[in-house]
Amino acid sequence: MSQLLKRRFFEQIKVMFGAEPSKPTAIAPAAQAMHFYKKGNRDLIAEKLHARAHAEHKNSWRNRRWATLIVANLLFTFSFFLDIQILEGALTASRFVGFHLIDLNSALQVMLAHKHIINNLLIGTGTVLVLWVLLGGRTFCSWVCPYHLLAEWAEKIHLHLAKKRLLTDQTIDRRLRTFFWIIFALLALATGYTVFEAISPTGIVSRALIYGPGLALLWVLALLVFEVFFSRRAWCRYACPIGLTYGVVGIISPVRIKYKLAECFHEGDCRKVCLVPHVLDTVIKGRAVETEVPLGPDCTRCGLCVDTCPTGSLSFEIKGLSKLG
């Protein structure tokens, strides 16, 4: 990895914790040449318009992700109702054919609340930690979390209303998510209770799917209404400590999305569909520090940008191996 990419990598980590993306102070000569070539090039403008007009939007990654998310959550439900003991418990804590699996953020909350490490908790946490390091931390958010799917559907309603100019999207300071992470950790430490688990829409929806709905779903409904009429994806973008925890785990993940400058026309469609558009600041004209730049650890690997890009300048890859189709 070049020094520029290393510097860029650490900047991406700061952005994950709430810092605003900034323009690079240094750009590699090869990338500079591409930026200069693209600046004001009328042929490229015509090519961009042609690419957007003839792009084939397949939703391939979205469909795979939705199928994986639905199957993973329904497996909990079927295991409970059929009593087949394949996947017992809920997303926060479970056993898969006897192996303990503990959500990393939940495990942290429990350890802080109880102020000591429980053996089964340690085993379950270690298993999940290895899994999400390999798959990319925030992949959990878009490929497994049931609230993410509900928020994605709510976002479609929000965008429809915004298109009709019935509302505007309100942004919130992204540093608030780090603030909430610290607050909930301190509350667990001070009270001896996992306070966050009581309001976590991920846990609430997961338990509702397995054991049946309860009054806690009213809180989830309130969040969705807020996201439809005020700020799209507000919980995931600005509040959820789980996303930050898995983002930290994903820092060293080999699974990532890579951006290729040469193939990009900077039409911006990818940023419009992205849950966390700050990770795509490198696609803005003049921002890429190298000709190829991996996206930061706050990327959820949802694949929406890959599906949307008309030129294929964004793609999944396993670091050191190959591109994923």
pTM of the model: 0.91
**Res 30: pLDDT:** 93
Tell me the pairing of strands 314-318 and 292-294: unpaired
Quick: pLDDT tens for 189-200: 999 999 999 999
d(CA 66, CA 141): 12
- Residues 6 or more apart from 126 whose CB is under 8 A from it? none
Domain regions of the chain by residue span: 3-55+254-324, 61-66+104-248
Cα angle 264-269-271, degrees, rounded to a multiple of 5: 95
From residue 324, alpha-carbon distances to 61, 265, 290, 315 in Å are: 11, 22, 21, 7
Quick: pLDDT tens for 88-128: 888 888 888 777 788 999 988 988 888 877 776 777 888 88
> Is the pLDDT confidence value at 211 over 70?
yes
> Is the pLDDT confidence value at 278 over 90?
yes
**Res 56: pLDDT:** 67
d(CA 161, CA 158): 5
* Residue pair 142/250 in contact by the 8 Å Cβ criterion: no
Span of 51-60, 189-198, 234-243 with lowest mean pLDDT: 51-60
CA nearest to 296, candidates 27, 62, 11 = 11
d(CA 313, CA 67): 25
317: enclosing H helix or E strand: strand 314-318
**Res 54: pLDDT:** 60
**Res 267: pLDDT:** 82
Record the tokens describing residue 51, joined without a space: 């690419």
Per-residue burial over 198-224, b if 16 or more Cβ lie within 10 Å, else e, is eebbbbbbbbbbbeeeeebeeebeebb
d(CA 71, CA 77): 10
